[in-house]
Structure 1
Amino acid sequence: MRTSGRRAVLAAQLNPADGGGPGPSLRVGVRAARPGADFILDTVGAPHSVEPYMAALAMDGTLCVVGIPESAIEVNPLSLIQGAKTLAGAGSGGTVETREMLDFCAEHGITAEIEIVRPDQVNEALGRLARNDVRYRFVLDMTARRP
């Protein structure tokens, strides 16, 4: 998976739980040369190739797609057949599952990098999304007052 130089630096700065180094998308690109992942969770919501992920899977590995890109996902059938790999999808779950996931993340120190946006900044944030000028997920703070 290609990642721009700026995003590669940002990914490395995020200091993932495994002790540092590049973020997940960069590690997949490196791991693609030597398959070994039993499971990969693809949360990308933008058009992208899943082939690097498929190549990173071990025999009988599963790629689970939960991101919803605006265009169809294309998969080479040989990527599935060679190595008996599985392509799966999953819904978001209900409130019980979401609470369990949030509790698990809290217990293990798993957090998300976010950028808080005030209501008066929504149009600017949408423009940045359109220009692909976003580092983290936007969170809309509805309690914020205008400056």
Structure 2
Amino acid sequence: MKAHRLTRTQLLPISIIEAWNFFSSPMNLADITPEWLGFKVMSEPPAKMYEGLIIQYNVTPMMGLPLWWVTEITHVREPFFFVDEQRKGPYAMWHHEHHFEDTADGVLMTDMVHYILPLSTITQPVLGGYVAKKLDEIFDHRYRTLETRFKTL
């Protein structure tokens, strides 16, 4: 089984508290996710994130086929980082770290995703490149959307 890693950084001209308030709310995730993914939050998360929080989503990543995705918030150190991990969904393993660093120019946000495809020895040769490309598209869209949303006035 091969674990893959995707790392993205982005400097946003906002405070670390603004970044935390936005990114720690699962309800904002749909706003920065491409429409083609069909991303919907199905559970009602509380106002404040906490370790152990279970969040349920519906996504349609391939051919319009809906998939149930369940994640758990496993680590929280407000306002510096949190981690979500898949409990049920399209990956054999999904571990997503969200880091926020205060800088003189705003907040440096770093996403680090480690993932393993299901049935990796079979799916990796067939779907590995496709999945990596789709994840790049998702995070590229997210980058552009955040640039627009938090642009300097």
Q: Give the TM-score normalised by the residue count of structure 1.
A: 0.25
Per chain length, whose mean CA-contact separation is higher, i.e. which structure has more relative contact order (CA < 8 Å, sep 6+)? 2
- Which has the larger share of strand? 2
Q: Give the TM-score normalised by the residue count of structure 2.
A: 0.24
- Which has the larger share of helix? 1
Structure number, greater radius of gyration: 1
